Structure formats: structure tokens, C-alpha cells
A and B are shown apart, each in its own frame.
Chain A
Amino acid sequence: MSFAEIGAFVVGICLLIGAFFALVGSIGLLKFNDSMTRLHAPTKVGTIGVGMLLLASMIYSWVFGEGWSMHELLIMSFLFVTAPISANFMAKVNIHRRACDTPPSPPRDETWSTLNVPEADRDIEETVETPVN
């Protein structure tokens, strides 16, 4: 087998693995019935699914194209930096809207920072909160 053929196989395998994990992530998003468990599905797609697709792109441009392509590494690192932050924000919204089980209180501090309402706002908080589920 020539170098290009091996490259084509490796690119194909990487694409298949990436597509499989993207599919599993989407199935998870549809299947789970609770807003917190649903959050777990996109973190999977964000790591290995996209990672494998980007790896396929890197190998493709190395074997068939214009030499080393480094943009994929940047996409990967930006994704790794931003994905936890968006997941954290969605989790915070869930806690704030009481859309999930109430978390156990922390051992050393008073409460979780999302539930920490300033005293002046506590009466507003009581009236605004409406359970979603």
C-alpha cells in the first residue's frame, strides 16, 4: 500500500470515530430527561467527537495537501477553554431556576455562590422564583 492509501484509511477511521461520538452525544441529548444529565452529552461531542474530526483534517492536509496545518490545534485548544465555561453557565442557570435537585450544602462555607442571594434582594427572589419542572 502506498503512503497516500494508508493516509486515506487513517483519515477515514478518524472521521468514523468522530462521527460516532457526535452521534452518541446527540442521542444522549435526546434521550436523557433531566436538564442536568442532558448537560453531559455536549461535553462528549466537544472533546472526542470534534477532536477526532480535527485530527482527520490535520492528517488529510499533511498527506494530501499543503503540509502541516496547525489551525486545528488552535480550534481544539479554544474549544477546550470555552466548553467548560458554557457548561458551567448552563449548570448555574439550572441551579438558579431550581430545575434540578437541590445540591447538598457545602461543608465549610455557607452556601453555593449561585444560591447566595444578597440580603436586600431576598424578598424579590422569593416572589420571582417559579419551579420549572
Chain B
Amino acid sequence: MANALRWLMPHPLLTLILAVVWVLLQNEVSAGMVVFGIILGIIIPMITSAWWPDTPNSFHMGRMISYSVVVLWDILVANVQVAWIVLTKPNSQLRPAWIVVPLDLVQPEAITILAGTITLTPGTVSADLSDEGHSLLVHVLHTDDPDGVRDEIKSRYEARLKEVFV
């Protein structure tokens, strides 16, 4: 039974996401739409399984939700800070910097989420990954303390993501 279920849904989270996206696209919750969403959620991962060779061995949904809340709050705060920089700082006083973040994360999914978070938080853009994936290159719009920004990324985001994909 467990094997059959795994054959049917090799990526349960992807199945769930596809079903939810389908229902949201229809903008109505009815039994027919849910069933069709689940059918899509089973068929699409099967067809595209060649691009999903590995699954993350564990994923804590609750911790991911609390991580998202932290990120959304940081986006709000950082937006105001960056708007202030844009409106008040002349270009000559701007001190952009490259920051190298050494990564403790190894799962590609976790690194992708970390890079996306860094880009979505205004003021920082993740630019590149080192050739063997051990460090992340981040560009900062304005900072007086590059090491502080690096430590904040590591303690605030990376430590939480390690808990999500523990």
C-alpha cells in the first residue's frame, strides 16, 4: 500500500501544490474541481519526473510557514529602509558591496529558497553560486558593515532553513 502510494505520488508536496493552484485558478471550491486538481497533481509529476530525480528527505511544513512569516515581515521593513536610501542618499554616498556567504546548506531546494529570499528582501540580490555550491555571492545596495549583513543572513535565514530541511 505504501509502495503503491509512493508510485502514485512520488512528490506528495508537489501534488498538493498543483491541486491547490488548480483550485485557486478556478476561484471556486467544489468537489469536481478538487478531484480534477488532484488528478493533475498526480499526472504532472509523473510526466515531468525526469526533472525531479531527488526528493528532499524531510520537509517541515510548520517551520516553513513560520519562516515565510519572518521573511514577509523582513520584506516590509527592508522596503521602507531601501525606499529611504533611494530617496535621500546621493549616488556618491552609496556604498554597494559584494558579500560572500559560505553555505552550510547542501540540499539544492534549500539553497534555492535561500537565494530567492535574499533577492526578495530589498537591498540584497543573490548574484551567483560558487562552482561547487559552497558559497553564495550576494550584492548589497548600501552597507557600512558587510560582515554584519553576512552574519545576519546566516543567523536569520540559513539557520531557520536548516531547521526546515533538517
A residues neighboring B (CB under 8 Å): 20-21, 24-25, 27-28, 31-34, 36-37, 39-41, 43-44, 46-48, 69-71, 73-74, 80-81, 83-85, 87-88, 91-92, 94-95, 100-101, 103-104, 106-114, 116
Contact = CB atoms under 8 A, between A and B. Distances in A.
A108 B27 contact: no
B61 interface: no
A20 B79 CA distance: 11
B132 interface: yes
The size class of the interface chain B forms with chain A is 35 or more
A112 B129 contact: yes
Contacts of A91: 125-128, 139
A21 B128 contact: no
Interface of B: 21, 24-25, 27, 75-76, 79, 82-83, 86-87, 91, 94, 96, 98, 100, 102, 115-116, 118-120, 122-123, 125-135, 137, 139, 141
A61 B139 CA distance: 39
B25 A71 contact: yes
- Chain A interface, DSSP helix/strand/loop, else mixed: helix
B129 A84 contact: no
Contact of B125 (A25, A32, A87, A116): A87
A96 to B, nearest CB: 10
Contacts of B79: 21, 44, 47-48
B129 A40 contact: no
A71 B24 contact: yes
A101 B130 contact: no
Contacts of A24: 83, 86-87
A69 to B, nearest CB: 7
A112 B126 contact: no
B135 A33 contact: no
Contacts of B24: 70-71, 73-74
19 contacts: A20-B83, A21-B83, A37-B94, A39-B125, A40-B82, A46-B120, A47-B122, A48-B79, A70-B24, A80-B120, A84-B120, A88-B119, A101-B98, A104-B98, A106-B134, A108-B102, A109-B134, A111-B130, A113-B131
Contacts of A33: 91
Contacts of B86: 24-25, 27-28, 31, 41
A31 B76 contact: no
Contact of B102 (A43, A107, A111, A113): A107
A81 B83 CA distance: 23
